[in-house]
Chains A and B, each alone.
Chain A
Amino acid sequence: MHDMSAHAAQHHAPPTSFIRKHVFSLDHKVIGKQYYGLALIAVFAGMVLSWLMRIHLAWGAAPIPGLELLSKNGAPAGVITPEYYLQLMTMHATIMVFFVLTTAPFAAFGNFFLPIQVGAEDMPFPHFNMMSFWVTFTAFLVLMASFFVPDGPTLGGWTQYAPLSAVGKVAGPGQGTGVILWAASIAIFCVGQLLGSLNFITTTLDLRVKGMSLMRLPLSAWGWFITSCMGLTAFAVLMPACILLILDHVAGTSFFVPSNLVLNDQLQPHSGGSTLLWQHLFWFFGHPEVYIAIVPGMGIVSHVLITSMRRPMLSHRVLIYSMGALAVLSYMVYGHHMFVSGMNPVSSLAFSFPTLMITIPSTIIVLIWIGSLYGSKLRITAASLFALGFVSMFVSGGVSGFFLAQPSIDIMLHATYFVVGHFHMVMGVAAMFGIFSGTYFWFPKMTGRMMNETLGKIHFWLSFVGTYCIFMPFHYLGMAGNVRRYSAFVDDYTMRLIPVHKFITVAAIATGCAQFIFLYNLIHSRFKGKPAPDNPWEATSLEWSTPTTPPPHNNFGDKLPVVYHDPYQYGVKSSTGDYVMQASPEQVATPHEEK
């Protein structure tokens, strides 16, 4: 009786009209693709913004043709002003963090594959799911709208530190309407992700098919499940914080503005608030957000690596527990973003300790990957290369985290390019490599066509080398004292670093251009690619057991699968070769036990 209503909601007939099929679709697969499309638009927008910044940093006086059309005040005659530089930077970060790193690995792939991997016909609340995408899309439009208001977008950085984010226009162009649009966009975005997280958790816990115990879930499903638990709690804190910020603008409150604040010789009409309060609320969301971006990638990459290695990870269980530990610890470490904020130094120490602790599960995960890879006969595909690239980026970016976790070192490195290099590698590019890996791996199932492997491998090598060329020198710049967020470097010691900036800019443009290979491959393969077989990678999990490729509207046709095996039965002798699918009743002589 209980389940009747839930499953009645989950069932819906295949749509017939174009709008219900492709626009306001209830089908989790269509919604997943919509999220992917949104992320694709957003990532190219974010990339172009980063190019503009890089060009300005390397050749500050050179005009960028056409830019004055986008913003007459921000780039008169095509030369970026310091304020406009900060506006571009803020929009780059906000677009990338929220609309790419959160939407693509979590919302896009998770929506498409989580229900299939657990064996469900759809998510339990398809209407919430549809709303989740359209609310997120609205948030994107609201954010983009800030480019077209008179003062342009906000220049406060994606962290929007108070008080400059809370006092309005006096703090600079874009700090009035721009901030309000930014905060409104993010609050709307939070609603979308809360709805998504609700669906992900209920799907994972309630809609698993017969035989699918939690430990039999593939690691990718675990990644999305753990991420949705974080999303449910983290976005619920950011949303009220953004609303309080908007109230400071429109209702005259002073949550984040202290007394006696003088800006541009004007005493601000606010009193009594706390600038630190914003940082606490923001980073309580902000640090879990880092893991919201990376944990789905960990799951996807583990899933891809296992399929390519043809053997399971050294320990399925420990990998899951470590991802869970990351999620729990991510709430206790957020203060490490605030070591130099004026917070009590004792708090810094208290936040430093769990920050060093969180390196333990991270290291365990990396060791499991490397230990499992050791001696395996890896099948080299574009997907597995990008998975290896993910591991490489995560390690290279993560190692600098050990340094930054300690207040005594962080005081020197804070707000320098060292930090920029650190988080771009460990969170930004690593997550991007996870997205690429997932794309090359799942594209056949999502579209019914294969991607071009050769182009994929070229894309990988250009991106891999290019990324290191961009972000490794950032660490050097930081150690040399190059501060971040400056639009020009005119001090003696920073002038000497400009050749490094030029090198980075060239690398960034080249690496960015290499992404058009991916875009071409994606679009061309979508329409002209080789037709994909049902299971091109000889993989075991349920998404490869669907009766057609791409899967039918209800995923499994008339008959739901039954799960007989742990997720990764590779390297066994069976009638199909060296693997047994989860939904295959075939018994094998030496199945892998969950460890």
Chain B
Amino acid sequence: MSHADLTMEGHSAGLTSGSPFAIPTKKLAMWLFIIADTMTFAACLVAYLFLRNGTANWPTPFKFSPSIVNVMLMTFILISSSLTMLMGLRNAQAGNKAAAFRWILITAAAGAVFALLHLREWMGMIGEGVTLFHNPWGSGLFGAAFFSVTGLHLLHVTSGVIALLAVGVRYQGGRYNADDIEILGLYWHFVDIVWMFVVPLIYLLNIAR
């Protein structure tokens, strides 16, 4: 223990006082992950736009109802879940453990509902004949781009829900603290922000005309 104290003094007292980089290591790591993940999403979205731009018969299948209405509902749920995440963090920082845990569970539930709505939409599209290489309306690339971009996002939401439950339970059990909630929150808000790029680029660009 004395050894650990000595280390902490060596690291935090001298170096980080007044340093612009005085950011806890785990939080920094999450930011770095977000940077890398941003590059991954950007690569996929740019690839999609590149292909879309070069394809004459790009399909625009999304009708206001049900597609866009469904997406608006999903967006509303995901943005609201960022708010509930924030409530969880505020309560955790204030020391209201039970309330914080409850808000985290609500956030996870919202994520799960988002994923279910998304899957329902997927099943509907698959039912209409959209595959990774074919669809009834135009270029087969549409399905490949749609499923890979939204699939990547869905993967993030699903992992996020699992992480929320895992971190929430460990927070409840006292192994994690408010900082860990904050770090997980960063990830959750990031997934939310990515969705704000997916909606206009994947859905609104392809509204039926």
On whether A274 and B12 interact (CB within 8 A), knowing A124-B25, A240-B43, the answer reads no
Q: How far is the CA of A205 from the CA of B11 in the complex (A)?
A: 11
Query: For A119, what are the chain B residues with a Cβ–Cβ distance below 8 Å?
Result: 10
Q: How far is the CA of A410 from the CA of B40 in the complex (A)?
A: 31
Q: CB-CB contacts of A266-280 with B at 8 A, as 1s and 0s?
A: 000011111001001
Question: Which of B16, B29, B133 contacts A202 (CB under 8 A)?
Answer: B29
Query: For A237, what are the chain B residues with a Cβ–Cβ distance below 8 Å?
Result: 39-40, 42-43
A558 touches B28 (CB 8 A): no
A71 at the interface (CB under 8 A from B): no
Minimum CB distance partner of A559 in chain B: B6
On whether A255 and B47 interact (CB within 8 A), knowing A202-B29, A247-B132, A560-B7, the answer reads yes
A207 at the interface (CB under 8 A from B): yes
A198 touches B29 (CB 8 A): yes
Q: CB-CB contacts of B32-47 with A at 8 A, as 1s and 0s?
A: 1101111110111001
Q: How far is the CA of A209 from the CA of B14 in the complex (A)?
A: 7
B13 at the interface (CB under 8 A from A): yes
B94 at the interface (CB under 8 A from A): no
Find residues 275-293 in chain A having any chain B CB closer than 8 Å to their own CB: 277, 280-281, 284
B132 touches A252 (CB 8 A): yes
Give the contact-size bracket for chain A: 35 or more
Give the contact-size bracket for chain B: 35 or more
Q: CB-CB contacts of A229-254 with B at 8 A, as 1s and 0s?
A: 00011011101110010010001111
Minimum CB distance partner of A235 in chain B: B36
Whole-angstrom distance between the Cβ of B69 and the nearest chain A Cβ: 29
Q: How far is the CA of A232 from the CA of B27 in the complex (A)?
A: 16
On whether A255 and B141 interact (CB within 8 A), knowing A206-B21, A237-B39, the answer reads yes
A562 touches B14 (CB 8 A): yes
Q: How far is the CA of A462 from the CA of B55 in the complex (A)?
A: 55
Query: For B139, what are the chain A residues with a Cβ–Cβ distance below 8 Å?
Result: 271-272
B37 touches A8 (CB 8 A): no
A209 touches B11 (CB 8 A): yes
A281 touches B25 (CB 8 A): no
B51 touches A277 (CB 8 A): yes
Minimum CB distance partner of B36 in chain A: A236
On whether A558 and B29 interact (CB within 8 A), knowing A6-B24, A236-B39, A247-B148, the answer reads no
Query: For B43, what are the chain A residues with a Cβ–Cβ distance below 8 Å?
Result: 236-237, 240-241, 281, 284
A198 touches B33 (CB 8 A): yes
A212 touches B15 (CB 8 A): yes
Q: How far is the CA of A284 from the CA of B44 in the complex (A)?
A: 13
Query: For B28, what are the chain A residues with a Cβ–Cβ distance below 8 Å?
Result: 201-202, 205-206
Q: How far is the CA of A247 from the CA of B43 in the complex (A)?
A: 16
Query: For A284, what are the chain B residues with a Cβ–Cβ distance below 8 Å?
Result: 43
A255 touches B4 (CB 8 A): no
Minimum CB distance partner of A125 in chain B: B29
B32 touches A236 (CB 8 A): no
Query: For B32, what are the chain A residues with a Cβ–Cβ distance below 8 Å?
Result: 197-198, 201-202, 232
On whether A5 and B179 interact (CB within 8 A), knowing A232-B36, A237-B43, A272-B140, the answer reads yes
A5 touches B50 (CB 8 A): no
Question: Which of A11, A240, A271 contacts B44 (CB under 8 A)?
Answer: A240
A2 at the interface (CB under 8 A from B): yes
Q: How far is the CA of A192 from the CA of B48 in the complex (A)?
A: 26
A4 at the interface (CB under 8 A from B): yes
A253 touches B132 (CB 8 A): yes
Question: Which of B36, B47, B50, B152 contacts A233 (CB under 8 A)?
Answer: B36
Query: For A1, what are the chain B residues with a Cβ–Cβ distance below 8 Å?
Result: 177, 179
Q: How far is the CA of A271 from the CA of B47 in the complex (A)?
A: 16
B144 touches A253 (CB 8 A): yes
Q: How far is the CA of A477 from the CA of B40 in the complex (A)?
A: 40
Query: For A202, what are the chain B residues with a Cβ–Cβ distance below 8 Å?
Result: 25, 28-29, 32
Query: For B37, what are the chain A residues with a Cβ–Cβ distance below 8 Å?
Result: 236
Minimum CB distance partner of B179 in chain A: A2
A273 touches B7 (CB 8 A): no
Query: For A277, what are the chain B residues with a Cβ–Cβ distance below 8 Å?
Result: 47, 50-51
B196 at the interface (CB under 8 A from A): no
B120 at the interface (CB under 8 A from A): no
Whole-angstrom distance between the Cβ of B71 and the nearest chain A Cβ: 23
Q: How far is the CA of A237 from the CA of B140 in the complex (A)?
A: 24
B51 touches A272 (CB 8 A): yes
On whether A210 and B25 interact (CB within 8 A), knowing A233-B39, A252-B132, A281-B43, the answer reads no
Q: CB-CB contacts of A1-44 with B at 8 A, as 1s and 0s?
A: 11111111111000000000000000000000000000000000
Which residue of B21, B24, B27, B39 has the most chain A CB atoms within 10 A of its CB atom? B39
A558 touches B144 (CB 8 A): no
B25 touches A233 (CB 8 A): no
B116 at the interface (CB under 8 A from A): no
Query: For B144, what are the chain A residues with a Cβ–Cβ distance below 8 Å?
Result: 247, 253-255
Q: How far is the CA of A560 from the CA of B14 in the complex (A)?
A: 12
Q: CB-CB contacts of B120-148 with A at 8 A, as 1s and 0s?
A: 00000000000111000001110010001
Which residue of B35, B132, B144 has the most chain A CB atoms within 10 A of its CB atom? B144
Q: CB-CB contacts of A197-225 with B at 8 A, as 1s and 0s?
A: 11001100111111110000000000000
Q: How far is the CA of A277 from the CA of B54 in the complex (A)?
A: 10
B36 touches A8 (CB 8 A): no
Whole-angstrom distance between the Cβ of B140 and the nearest chain A Cβ: 6
A7 touches B11 (CB 8 A): yes
Minimum CB distance partner of A4 in chain B: B8
A208 touches B29 (CB 8 A): no
Find residues 61-81 in chain B having any chain A CB closer than 8 Å to their own CB: none
Whole-angstrom distance between the Cβ of B197 and the nearest chain A Cβ: 15
Minimum CB distance partner of B180 in chain A: A5
28 A-B pairs whose Cβ atoms sit less than 8 Å apart in the complex? A2-B24, A2-B27, A3-B16, A3-B24, A5-B24, A5-B179, A5-B180, A6-B26, A11-B7, A119-B10, A121-B7, A197-B36, A198-B33, A201-B28, A208-B11, A209-B10, A210-B10, A233-B36, A235-B36, A236-B38, A237-B40, A240-B44, A251-B132, A273-B51, A281-B43, A560-B10, A560-B11, A562-B14
- List of 10 A-B pairs having minimum Cβ-Cβ separation, nearest first: A210-B14, A6-B25, A236-B39, A2-B24, A253-B144, A560-B10, A236-B36, A252-B133, A237-B43, A124-B25
9 additional contacts, CB 8 Å, given A202-B25, A209-B11, A212-B15? Answer: A3-B16, A6-B25, A121-B7, A205-B23, A206-B11, A239-B40, A254-B141, A280-B50, A560-B11
